Amino acid sequence: MLSTMKGMSIFMEEKINLKEKISYSIGDVGCNFVYVPITSFLMIYYTNSVGLGVAAVGTLMLIARLLDGVTDLSIGALIDKTNTRWGKTRPWILWSAPFMGIGLILLFNVPMSLSDGGKLIYAYITYIFLVSIVYTASNLSYCTLLSRISSNIQERSVLSSIRFVFVISFTIILSMITNPLVEKYGWSKLSVIYGIISCAFLFITFAFTKERNQDEKGEKFKLKVGIGSLMKNKYFLLIAIMFIIIYTDMGLFSGATLYYTTYVLNNANLMGMLTLALYAPMIVGFALLPKFISKFGKWKVMMFGFLVKLVGVIIMAINPASYELVMAGSIIKGFGMAPLIVGIFAIVADAVDYGEWKTGIRADGLINSCVSFGMKLGGGLGTAILGWILDFGKYNGTATVQTGAAIKAINVSFIYSGIVFTIIGLIVMYFINMDKFSNKMVTELNIKRTSKFVGVD
CA distances from 234 to 372, 374, 449 (A): 17, 15, 23
Does residue 6 register a pLDDT over 60? no
Each residue's pLDDT tens digit, 300-309? 999 999 999 9
CA distances from 214 to 89, 267, 442 (A): 13, 54, 17
What is the CATH number that goes with domain 19-210+229-444?
A: 1.20.1250.20
Q: What is the pLDDT of residue 406?
A: 93
d(CA 234, CA 253): 30
Does residue 1 register a pLDDT over 50? no
Q: What is the pLDDT of residue 277?
A: 93
Q: How confident is the model at residue 4 (pLDDT cuts 50, 70, 90)?
A: very low
DSSP state of 217: T
Point out the least confidently predicted range of 327-331, 354-358, 429-433.
Answer: 354-358
DSSP state of 128: I
Its pTM surpasses 0.85: no
CB 76, CB 369: distance < 8 Å: yes
d(CA 63, CA 184): 33
Enumerate the domain spans of the chain: 19-210+229-444
**Torsions phi, psi for 78 (to 5 deg):** -65, -40
Q: How confident is the model at residue 85 (pLDDT cuts 50, 70, 90)?
A: confident
Q: What is the pLDDT of residue 50?
A: 93
d(CA 194, CA 186): 12
User: 414 Cβ partners below 8 Å, 6+ apart?
Assistant: 252, 253, 256, 257, 259, 260, 264, 320
CB 103, CB 34: distance < 8 Å: yes
d(CA 256, CA 236): 30
Determine if residue 83 is left, alpha or beta; phi over 0 gives left, psi from -120 to 50 gives alpha, anything else beta.
Answer: beta
**Three-state secondary-structure class, residue 3:** strand
- DSSP assignment of 382-429: HHHHHHHHHHHTT--TT-SS--HHHHHHHHIIIIIHHHHHHHHHHHHH
Does residue 365 register a pLDDT over 80? no
CA distances from 341 to 138, 309, 346, 362, 390 (A): 19, 12, 9, 24, 27
d(CA 377, CA 65): 5
